[in-house]
Amino acid sequence: MLSKSKIQHIKSLHLKKFRENSGEFIVEGPKLLAELLKSDFVVKSIFATNGWIKQNIDIANRQIEIVEVSHGELDRISGFKTPNQVIALAEAKKNNLNPDQIQDSFSLALDGISDPGNLGTIIRTADWYGIRNIIVSEDTVECLNPKVVQASMGSLFRVQVNYTNVAALIESLNPDFPVYGTFMDGKNIYNENFTKVGMLILGSESHGISENIEILVKTRLHIPSLCSKAESLNVSVAAAICCSEIKRTVLKNN
């Protein structure tokens, strides 16, 4: 049985300020927990129904605190309308940004993305295309937001997400490092010859890329519309198209 203080602590982690204060975040559901357990994230506690515990006896050998809870208790601490067997608390990682690693690979940079579903989907897309680094501006939604964690479908545990001053980071890179950005007036992305290294910047749908970052973009790109009256693409969709084209071009040339 969960104490009132433990219930309050878990429920508090649905809010950013308490996640920051405690250094913990919530992972809900068997599939996400399975992905978490395969990662190098530290799992601090697991709260699960009797049925889940019986099916996952092997996890007890990992010296992780496992607490059996009733369906009613799970309902009280879950952020879902229909709780799903298990909730875990994991330890947040500190930013570990390595500029040398950025310059040796292709990465995404996100500027002012506010929707957690979009961020989670972009993380999942980056994982699918083998992009291991995502740089995010300090005003982008927190990646440990439960909605981001859920939308990433476990990819958050494999992709490194670092919050930083994006403009300052770009200025610290080698002058010849390729920096791309998406704009309505950019050149056709399908005509660009991407290399194995570089950075693609995506801005918010409402404001685009910030002016202080825009001036650092070396190649402005655009995803052409084919007879559509839509004003713009959802940023997560744009990210998927861009990642696909970048990887297609690199594979074709190598």
Per the structure, the complete domain to which residue 84 belongs is given by 4-91
Per-residue burial over 61-70, b if 16 or more Cβ lie within 10 Å, else e, is eeeeebeebe
Q: Is pLDDT at 62 greater than 80 in this prediction?
A: no
The span from the CA of 114 to the CA of 150, in Å, is 16
pLDDT at 61: 65
Q: What is the mean pLDDT of the chain?
A: 93
**What pLDDT digit, counting tens, does each position of 154-178 carry?**
999 999 999 999 999 999 999 999 9
Q: Are residues 163 and 76 in the same domain?
A: no
CATH of the domain at 79: 3.30.1330.30
Tell me: do 106 and 212 sit in the same domain. yes
Which pLDDT score is estimated for 105? 94
Do 36 and 132 lie in a common domain? Answer: no
Average pLDDT over residues 169-198: 95
pTM as predicted: 0.94
Q: What is the CATH number of the domain that holds 151?
A: 3.40.1280.10
DSSP β-ladder status, 24-28 and 86-91:
antiparallel
Question: Is pLDDT at 51 greater than 80 in this prediction?
Answer: yes
**Per-residue buried b or exposed e for 222-237, using 16+ beta carbons within 10 Å of the residue's own CB:** ebeeeeeeeeebebbe
- Residue 95: band (very low, low, confident or very high) from pLDDT cuts 50, 70, 90: confident
| CA-CA-CA-CA torsion sign (212, 103, 121, 119) | negative
Asked if residue 217 and residue 157 are part of one domain, the reply reads yes
At 158 the three-state DSSP class reads coil
Give me the pLDDT at residue 100, please: 86
Share of the chain above pLDDT 70, in %: 99
Total domains, the chain: 2
Q: What is the mean pLDDT of residues 67-90?
A: 90
